[in-house]
């Protein structure tokens, strides 16, 4: 997926902002929470993408060398 940061940021912002509003916070605090949620969501999604890329590279190396967990 090409837009991991955008999707993660949007979901984090939406979830943090809406849950803050539903908790009865003022709009200023809700916007701050949404901004923080945007950053955290984007970071988590980019870490997930990096993990998937690492897993693919390990699987490719295992196919090339014919090993599993260092054993032939």
Which has more pLDDT, 66 or 32?
Answer: 32
Supply the pLDDT for residue 70.
56
- Parent domain of 31: 4-65
In-domain check, residue 25: yes
Supply the pLDDT for residue 67.
66
pLDDT in tens, 14-38: 999 999 999 999 999 999 999 999 9
In-domain check, residue 34: yes
In-domain check, residue 46: yes
In-domain check, residue 71: no
C-alpha–C-alpha distance, residues 22 and 1, integer Å: 31
Question: pTM to 2 decimals?
Answer: 0.74
In-domain check, residue 72: no
In Å, what is the CA distance from 57 to each residue of 32, 43, 61?
38, 21, 6
Supply the pLDDT for residue 72.
52
* Domain count along the chain: 1
Q: Smallest Cα–Cα separation from 41: which of 18, 12, 68?
A: 12
Supply the pLDDT for residue 9.
94
């Amino acid at each position: 997926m090409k837009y991991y940061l955008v999707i993660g940021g949007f979901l984090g912002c939406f979830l943090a902002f809406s849950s803050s509003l539903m908790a009865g916070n003022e709009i200023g605090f809700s916007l701050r929470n949404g901004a923080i949620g945007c950053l955290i969501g984007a970071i988590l999604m980019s870490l997930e993408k990096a993990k998937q890329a690492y897993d693919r590279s390990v699987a490719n190396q295992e196919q090339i060398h014919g090993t599993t967990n260092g054993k032939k």
